[in-house]
Structures are given as C-alpha cells and as structure tokens.
Structure 1
Amino acid sequence: MASLPTFSFSSTAEEVANALSKEIAGKNVLITGTSLNGIGFETARAIAIHAPLVIITGYNEERLKLSEEAIKKDFPSANIRRLILDLSSFAAIRKAAAEVNAYPEPLHVLIHNAAAAIGDFKLTADGLESQMGTAHVGPFLLTKLLAPKLLSTSTARYTPRVVFVASIAQFYSPGIKFDQIAHPDAATYSGVSAYFDAKSANVLTAIELSKRSKGAIKAYSLHPGVMHTNMSQKKESIPNLQAMGLLGPDGKPNTATMQWKSLAQGGATTVTAAFDPRISDHPGSYLQDSVIANEAVAAPSSDPANAEKLWDVTEEIIGENFTF
C-alpha cells in the first residue's frame, strides 16, 4: 500500500486501475449502466484490462454489444459478459439476478452506476418515481439478491465491495421524502429535487449496508465529478441541467460555474472505491477525486437515523427483508 500513488482530480480510470492492478487481479466485477459515452463504460473499460471477468449491464442489447466491441477493440483479451438488466422493473431485476447467481464464476465487486434521466415525472413498472426507482430501489433489490454470491468470496484477506455512484447533488437534498418513495406525487414533483434525493439515497444506503453487514460487505458511495455524458445529452435532461447551471443556453457544459472532468477522469473514483486497499478501514465512506471526503456529505445524507429509515422503507417496497 505504501507504494501506491496519490490519486487526484486529474487521475483517469485507467491510471487508477493500472496502479491497483494487483488488487483487481482475480476479481470479477458487475457494473450497471455501461453505455458508450458514459462513466460506467469508462469504468468497465479500465477494470477489464486487469480483471478476469467484467459483467456489463443495460436494458438495450444493441448498446451493450457496442460497449463490448469498443472495450475489446482496445483490449482484445478482455473477458466481457453482457447482461440484460432493467433496473426500473423488479421482475427484470430478479431475472437478471438469477442469471448472475447461476454463473459458475464468483462475484467480488458490484458497482451501481446506472441512473434514470433527469426529466419529467415518470413511473417505473412497479409504480415508483423513475429516478428513485432506478437509482435506489432497483439497486437495493439487486444487491439483496446478489449478496449471498458476493459474501461467498469473503476470505481472511478479502472482503467483497459494493459501490454506489452518487453525486455531489446529495449535498442539496434537504432530506428524502420517505412517504413519497412508495407513493410518488406528480403534483409536487421536481426533476432536479428527485435527482438530489436519489443521490442522497445512494450515500445513505452505502452507510447502512456497511453497518448492517457488520463489515462482511464494504460499501462506498462517491461523487465521480461533473462530466458531459450520454445522460446529460438527453433531450429531457437538458432543461433541468440548464436550470442547475451545469449547461449553458446552447446545451453545452458551462465551464464558468465549475471544473469539468473528461469521461476517462470520471471513472477514476469508482475504480478507487472498488479496489483501493487504503480505504478498507473506512466502510460506508463517501469519496471525491479518489479520496475519502466524508466532510462533503450533507447532514441529511449522512444521518444514521435517515439511513436506517430508508433501509426499512425500501424493504417494505420490495417486499423482502435484506438481512445477513
């Protein structure tokens, strides 16, 4: 560990993965949301250089094929497996989880990167608001279903990890409206507020997962930085991102308000959270620029009582207890 370099804002996912290659070796990883021109793709690409198996997921088969082809073009020996996964449907999540649980290979790391667009009010197949459903409830259910497979990789020298790609947006959530997770209200809906709350939920879940597993799973959340991804280029997202000051009137990044990262840089903190041994003694932590930054988490997004309540509410929604 002493020889590991210091990562920073400018570090790229590939640089971090190369530095942590010994930690990645022998580890199989599942990453959600891996379409081209996205953070998840860059994360998968960097990890695939060293990991024996990287499972990439998405709800669109053609886009998954494009991602696989792009990774193999750069790294022909990469072992990529495509998995159809729609996080907006409990039935689809259960089907995908059953497929993963049937794989002969173990699963060491689960990375929750996928999210819904910041747009108009929409419901998932199960009647949840799309952002909270796709970024929090769906990943919660997937984690619950894959937890036994993850836990089976535990050894005296290794503890499985679960990573939640959150955002600095968690800082702007005044507190999740717990009663509206199961019963979303279109009349009070705000795309931007829903995004803030969904990212707050990611941070709280990492805290509570680490706590409830009693160290059997190390969970982390993170802010990847601000990037111009496929998500920020969606027509429905642009007005909301303009309202937040992230995009200018022309729909392009507003570099006057903040410093932007490249997509390659955007995947760096995710790779750090998944593999850096220097954070092993700090499960539940929030990372930014590839270092622990718990001081950057807002009080509602780090309140243990909120984390516990969110867990209980989410269990009720999925209709299952997530125990260890």
Structure 2
Amino acid sequence: MSPTFTPTTTDDEVATAFSNEIKGKNVLITGTSINGLGFQAAQTIAKYANLVIITGHSAERLKLAEDALKTAVPGANIRPLILNLASLDAVRKAATEVNAYPEHIDILINNAASSICGFHLTPDGFEQQLATAHLGPFLFTALIFPRVLAAHTSSFTPRVINVASGAHAWCEGINLAELARPKEDTYAGMRAYAQAKTANILMARELTRRAGGRVVGFSLTPGAVLTNFVQNEGARPELLAKGIILEDGSPNPNTPFPWKTLPQGAATILAAAFDPSLNDKPGAYLANSVENNAGVAPHASDAGTAEKLWTLSEQLVGVKFL
C-alpha cells in the first residue's frame, strides 16, 4: 500500500517510506545553508544516499553546512560545490566541475533562491530574484544535463526537482519583457518572487515535455517555514506588508496558511524526489508531500507560456537546452 502523507508529515517519515528508492542514489541539492530547507533535506537524504552534493555561494557557509552534515550523519558521503547562481560565469564554472565527476546525478534538486529584496541587478544585468531562482538554475541544469541523463536506465528515470512556492499565485504571470530587460520603476519585491516561483513550475513542466521520458521534472511548495530565507532582513518589509511575519520577525499565527517546521517543509522535497507513485504523474506539482496540480495557478500551467519562457531563457543564458 502507498504511504499516506499529511501536512504534518516529516522528511524522516518520507525517507523511511522511500528508503529503498534513496539507497545508492547520487543527489545534488542547491542552496544548503544551515537552517534552510536544502540543508534539512540533505541531512535526511544523506542517511541513505550514496552521495549528496551540497552547494553554496559562500565557501565559509558551505564549510559550516558540510561539517554540520558530517556531524549529524557520521559516515555520510558529502561533497561541497561552490555555486553562485546569480552569476552566469560562476554557474558555468560549477557545471564544469560537476561534469568532471565520475558519478552520474540521479536527482537534481534546484532549491536555492534569492531572498525577497529590493531592486538589484546581477553582474549579467538580470533582476536578482529571477536570476538566482530561475535563470541560474536553468543554465546549471542545462549544462550538467549530461550527468543527469547518464543516470537513466530501463528501470530508473532521473528527476529534476524545482522548489517553488504557493506564493507563485501572487502575481499575474511572468513578464517576459521585464525578464530580459528589468525595470526598476515597475519592480516590486514580492511580485518578483512570485514570478520566479512561477518560472520554477513552468520550467519543470516544459523540461518534462522536452525530455521525452528520459528525465522528468517536478515542482512543489514546501509550505510556509521560518527558514533563514524568511528571516533575511532584506525580506522584512515585504513580509511585514503582506502580513506573513510580525514586527518582531516571528511568524504571524493569523495567516490563512499554517506554518510548518523544517522537517515538515522538507518532506515535500523528498516526496518529489523519491516517491515512485509519481512515475505516472510526470511534471506534477506537489503540496503536503502529494501531487496537487489543482494548486497551480492558471498562469503557471499554461503550455504556451512555458515554451516562450524556455526559449527566452535559452537566449538570455546563451545555451540551447533540449
């Protein structure tokens, strides 16, 4: 019988249910700072996997995460990778390192994202949030795709997981013109975040379509979790205005959505990565550790928009992908 998951299911419960699926796998997770969802997922996956590759743009914070994981899971095979998704040159450098690994990549989890912030351009001239959460991961996925494809067998289909958010519904869709040419006078931090999360969902679905069964993509919302992402001081004005946090930075207990613990938030990441029942639901969006395509806003499920976003993303990062 398939396990039953609920909003309070934890990552340990999901990992226990799918331990056979995790065993022997090589998993790459972006954005694994301590007190984040990526770190939480990495810690649980490391108990069973063959290899867990963790990433961060700061060598110091990445070393802290690596040491903490090795302390929490003695004997775990942890490999750090410097990856700054806000710089296309840095993404290319990291991808070159991954492509030199002897191992294939069974599961790629695109988790890293910029905190909600004021208008800021990356060195490549893109808006910070959309660059870090979409364009950087798009390029990284494209460049290391041969290592992901190498995991495909007659009995196993590798997966690319995009950690999105229910907040994708807080915009009317992606403004493709502004993705290419950001405008400060029309910028709003929360809107940019919602657009980036919309892009995560569209990318997972379009990747699934284009890969033709060789690789499948899934996206998900982990729910509201008090991570270092939420606690970032730059995000404070937007989160206060939206009523998500209180003046002291604590979660607002009166939000229409329940707050989750880190283990509860990471549970959906693990379900997307390893639940074998999803083999029959390619491109699905998950919430509370189960498929929830009904939770996707119309602008994040439009096939035409997904194709246009993919084509534009190829042009902006300078790579043809699938």
TM-score, with length taken from structure 1: 0.98
> Structure 2: which amino acid aligns with 1:169?
A
Listed as ranges, the gaps of 5+ residues in structure 2 are: none
In structure 2, what is the equivalent of residue 282 of structure 1?
281
In the alignment, the residues of structure 1 paired with residue 104 and residue 302 of structure 2 have an alpha-carbon distance, to the nearest angstrom, of: 34
SS for the counterpart of 2:173 is coil
SS for the counterpart of 1:216 is coil
In structure 2, what is the equivalent of residue 86 of structure 1?
84
Q: Is the 1:173–1:301 contact (alpha carbons within 8 Å) kept by the matching residues of 2? A: no
In structure 2, what is the equivalent of residue 298 of structure 1?
297
In structure 2, what is the equivalent of residue 35 of structure 1?
33
Shift in Å at residue 8 of structure 1?
1.5
Task: Note the aligned Cα RMSD (angstroms).
Answer: 0.8
- Of 191, 194, 208, the residue aligned with 1:193 is 191
Shift in Å at residue 244 of structure 1?
1.5
Listed as ranges, the gaps of 5+ residues in structure 1 are: none
- Of 180, 195, 203, the residue aligned with 1:182 is 180
In the alignment, the residues of structure 2 paired with residue 304 and residue 125 of structure 1 have an alpha-carbon distance, to the nearest angstrom, of: 31
| Identity value in percent | 51
Deviations 1:279-315 (A, max 9, x none): 1111111000000000010100000011011001101
TM-score, with length taken from structure 2: 0.98
SS for the counterpart of 1:267 is helix
Deviations 1:233-289 (A, max 9, x none): 111111111112110122210011131000111110001101100111111110000
> Structure 1: which amino acid aligns with 2:9?
S
Deviations 1:73-132 (A, max 9, x none): 121011100000000011100110110110111111100000001011011121100000
In structure 2, what is the equivalent of residue 240 of structure 1?
238
SS for the counterpart of 2:137 is helix
Correspondence 1:121-136 to 2 at 5 A: 121-136=119-134
Aligned length: 321
In structure 1, what is the equivalent of residue 312 of structure 2?
313
Is 1:259 aligned to residue 272 of structure 2?
Answer: no
> Structure 1: which amino acid aligns with 2:273?
A
In the alignment, the residues of structure 1 paired with residue 242 and residue 159 of structure 2 have an alpha-carbon distance, to the nearest angstrom, of: 32
> Structure 2: which amino acid aligns with 1:71?
L
SS for the counterpart of 1:34 is coil
In the alignment, the residues of structure 1 paired with residue 63 and residue 318 of structure 2 have an alpha-carbon distance, to the nearest angstrom, of: 34
Q: Is the 1:222–1:269 contact (alpha carbons within 8 Å) kept by the matching residues of 2? A: yes
In the alignment, the residues of structure 1 paired with residue 56 and residue 69 of structure 2 have an alpha-carbon distance, to the nearest angstrom, of: 15
Shift in Å at residue 175 of structure 1?
1.2
In the alignment, the residues of structure 2 paired with residue 106 and residue 206 of structure 1 have an alpha-carbon distance, to the nearest angstrom, of: 20
In the alignment, the residues of structure 1 paired with residue 281 and residue 87 of structure 2 have an alpha-carbon distance, to the nearest angstrom, of: 32
SS for the counterpart of 2:259 is coil
- Of 228, 231, 246, the residue aligned with 1:230 is 228
Q: Is the 1:40–1:113 contact (alpha carbons within 8 Å) kept by the matching residues of 2? A: yes
